[in-house]
Amino acid sequence: MKYRNAAKLFPALLAITLFFALHATSWSNPERQRLRLSSQHLSKPLECSGFYFDTDKGRIALPVKLNTKAKGKRLEWLAKTQDGRSASILVIPEGDNFSIRLSAQPADGILKWGFHIDSGRDEYFTGLMERVVDGPQQASWAPGLNEAMNLRGQKVEMLVKPTTSVYAPFYVSSRGYGLFIKTDWPGIYDFGATVPDQVGIEFEGPALDLKIYTAAQPVAIIKAHALDAGPPFLPPKWAYRPWRWRDEHTHRATYYDGTPVNGPFNSEMMEDVLMMRAYGIPCGVYWIDRPWGPGRIGYDDFEIDPKRLPNFAASVKWLNSHQMQMVLWIASFFQGQMQKEALEKGYTLPGQKPSIQNYPLADLSNPAAKTYWQSGVEKLLKLGVAGFKLDRGEEQIPDGGPFKRFDGKSIRENRNPYVAMFAQTVAEVARKYRGEDFVAMPRGAYTGSSPYAVFWGGDIGGTQWGLRASIIAVQRAAVMGYPNWGSDTCGYNEQTLDQDMCARWLAFSCFTPIMEVGPTRNVAFWNLPREPKYDSDLIAVWRLYARLHDRLADYSYAQAQEAARTGLPIVRPLFMADPKAPAAWSNWWTYLYGRDLLVSPVWEKDKRIQEVYLPSGSRWRDAWRPEKVYKGGRSIKVKAELHQIPLFIREGSGIDSGDLNQEWQESMEIAAKRPGLKALETEVVNWFKKHQK
């Protein structure tokens, strides 16, 4: 796939024309007007056509005969529609870009707007969602799936769905443009699925605003959109260290090996921390998922359950003494006494039906409801909690009927931006107590989320196909303006925890900004629910890549600073670096991590040879075979044993990955010896005795 530079056919950088053609269209009337947008960066003009809006009485196509008004750089076409409205297409050139507004007066009764953009048969589109394909999330990791980064041939509903839920109404095309629909209302994109040479776009709402970017390189389009939608949040440096979590923590009488628990904190948390320290596995963040409180689902009133998490405040300080931060699960609904009061005061989202999960959701457009919900989060911040996993923000959100939220907006319009409001609500209260030293990590995102949070990829299937989907998701998230992303390593509560899949996923997670290892079915690699239960190979792989990820924390943070400043993502699909090379578009499993590291995660079981495309303009050193240096601009095949991710370092970058082969041998030797938890626990007991007063 070639990213074509503009032919020098246009004397001005931008041009706008309107012409008429008598062509049949599957979307509107037989006669259609075409809005032609020209730029020096486009190989041929974009033709936008078939403009229409829908009412409850049917579809209204904008008439062919339009009157044009020009004022400065503003060009506006005005028309009377068949239902008596005054319709407008307003186009405002902005440098190399165009802002466009579709509207009609009166706007009452308008349900949605739509139009088309012409498309080449080999045109490549990506963005919109972290899912590989739309529909049930499991479809994105269905065995045998061929779809990858390219959305051509797909229809995508712009509606935030659980639980792989990172979305943005923005895509970039290999033709030299990107399109950002600037609305919270749901919509539909049709990338040649209905008509092969058309992109069909349709969004609900009384008017439609959009921005079309053009640039010589796709990276410039992606950066511009990220800043328009952001700029992205810059988390503290500790967020780029390895994370560890389990889905449910139980306080047990013995550790995994039968050693009695005498320590003062939750047994599974102590087991994780002590075992990781014994192996030399670094950890910067320890995350406790729900349940951690009292009540039916372990989330009442933002209170800590002392039976499950004894001496919680002291345990946070103990983690801090080992340079670890505590992160807790939260959701935007009320439980316990807070639920009763919220319902009485009308603090909840209208239109939501009572349910076992996710009820009742806070109406975050209501300042009083928002403050009341934040008062619960404040309890946790006062205990030293440094961050939050924001769950369920896209689940069971009411979006039908005549209901309106507190600020008067329709709950249908509320559906997509609710996840962004959730992130903003948490960021606001966290800043009150911690300044910028916090992390909010939702699984759901829409335009407006990026300035407040980092993200993780939801409840992903723990199979090789789930790993494949995650390799695509981190790159899609980067394109959409979400540079900080991670996945549930080995999948969400996968039953088998296959060694091949887990080893490959650990290596992949090393080269995502957020490396979170878990939930691994609430166990660890030393007590797996299959043979070998004590998997020294996976412990060694975890150690190898956690240590490498930790060494790269300064590098990752520097890339994150650039992302916050310029919009350039940390993970970069190859077409961002070498858009003229067809392999940079087709080799989707290889990407840049920052400017200077090239990685090619292996996702297929038993695969030991990987094809890697090396971007042109640089020389690349093989991190596993440092004596081998390759000139960029070509594809190579490299060996990739189970513990090896193909990794290349840009010559002259100054990055030292360390001797990975030697570290692997050390990791194998260390993992082969089971640590003695009785002796390790003594440190915790002594620390608690010293600090409990």
The answer on 249 and 194 residing in a single domain is: no
* pLDDT, position 190: 98
Distance CA 592, CA 631 (A): 16
What value does the mean pLDDT of the chain take? 94
> Kind and range of the H or E element at 58?
strand 58-61
Looking at 229, 245, 267, the residue that finishes a domain is: 229
CA nearest neighbour of 454 among 431, 471, 488, 477:
477
Residues 293/304, Cβ–Cβ less than 8 Å: yes
Task: Reduce the DSSP state of residue 642 to 3 states and report it.
Answer: coil
Find the Cα–Cα–Cα–Cα dihedral 375, 378, 379, 385, rounded to 10°: 150
One domain, residues 73 and 208 = yes
- Look at residue 65 in the predicted model and tell me its pLDDT: 72
pLDDT tens profile 453-492: 999 999 999 999 999 999 999 999 999 999 999 999 999 9
244 and 222 in a single domain? The answer is no
Average pLDDT over residues 281-310: 98
Q: Tokens for 177?
A: 């443009």
438 and 511 co-located in one domain: yes
Please indicate, yes or no, whether residues 141 and 219 belong to a single structural domain of this protein. Answer: yes
Instruction: Name the band, by pLDDT with cuts 50, 70 and 90, for residue 3.
Output: low
Torsion of CA 310, 313, 319, 320, to 10 degrees: -170
Domain boundary among 163, 195, 229: 229
Whether residue 272 sits in one domain with residue 174: no
Predicted pLDDT of residue 90: 96
CB 544 within 8 A of CB 503: no
Kindly state the tokens that stand for 40: 């020096």
Give the residue-averaged pLDDT of 262-290: 98
Mean local confidence (pLDDT), 546-555: 98
pLDDT band at 4 (very low <50, low <70, confident <90, very high): very low
Give the CATH number, domain containing residue 658.
2.60.40.1180
Residue among 440, 434, 438 nearest 453 (CA): 440
Q: Which region among 62-66, 141-145, 201-205, 508-512 has the lowest average model confidence (pLDDT)?
A: 62-66
Is 486 found in the same domain as 573?
Answer: no
Share of the chain above pLDDT 70, in %: 95
Tally of domains within the chain: 3
Which residue stretches of 357-417 are H helix? Answer: 367-382, 411-414
Which pLDDT band holds residue 30 (cuts at 50, 70, 90)? very low
Is 90 exceeded by the pLDDT of residue 13? no
167 and 280 inside one domain: no
For 197-224, give the DSSP string. Answer: TEEEEEEESSSEEEEEEE-SSHHHHHHH
Cα separation values, 17 from 47, 48, 138, 240, 408, Å = 10, 11, 44, 49, 39
Placement of tokens 């993780």 in the chain: 456
DSSP type of residue 484: -
Q: What pLDDT does residue 14 have?
A: 53
Q: 253 with 158, same domain? A: no
Across 23-37, 229-243, 267-281, 648-662, least confident range: 23-37
Check residue 5 and give its pLDDT.
41
Q: What pLDDT is recorded for position 494?
A: 78
5 lies in a domain? Answer: no
In this structure, are 444 and 535 located in the same domain? yes
Residue 222 lies in a domain: yes
Region 428-442 average pLDDT? 98
User: Does pLDDT of 20 surpass 50?
Assistant: no
Q: Do 224 and 299 belong together in one domain?
A: no
| Structural domain contains residue 576 | yes
Domain at 291, CATH number: 3.20.20.80
Residues 147 and 275 in one domain: no
| Alpha helices in 235-353, H assignment, sequence order | 267-279, 312-321, 337-345
The angle at the Cα of 650, spanning 647 to 654, to the nearest 5 degrees, equals 105
Q: Residue 99: which CATH number?
A: 2.70.98
Stretch 234-249: mean pLDDT: 98
Say if 8 falls within a structural domain.
no
Domain boundary among 184, 204, 229: 229
pTM, full prediction: 0.96
Dist. CA 425–CA 378, nearest whole Å? 12
Q: What is the DSSP string of 509-560?
A: HHTSSEEEE--GGGS-TTS-SSSSSS-HHHHHHHHHHHHHHHHTHHHHHHHH
Q: Is the pLDDT of residue 27 over 80?
A: no
Judge whether 7 lies within some domain: no
Range of the domain at 581: 566-663
- Determine contact, residues 103/207, Cβ cutoff 8 Å: yes
pLDDT, tens digit (0-9, with 9 covering 90-100), for 181-221? 999 999 999 999 999 999 999 999 999 999 999 999 999 99
Mean pLDDT of 35-58: 94
Residue 279 maps to a domain: yes
Query: CB-based burial of residue 692 (10 Å sphere; 0-12 exposed, 13-18 middle, 19+ buried)?
Result: exposed
Q: Does residue 612 have a pLDDT over 70?
A: yes
Domain-embedded: residue 6:
no
- Digit-coded pLDDT (tens) for 162-186: 999 999 999 999 999 999 999 999 9
Q: Is the pLDDT of residue 47 over 90?
A: yes
Q: Is the pLDDT of residue 355 over 70?
A: yes
For 72-100, the pLDDT digits (tens) are 789 999 999 999 999 999 999 999 999 99
Q: Per the domain annotation, does 21 fall within a domain? A: yes
Is residue 69 over pLDDT 90?
no
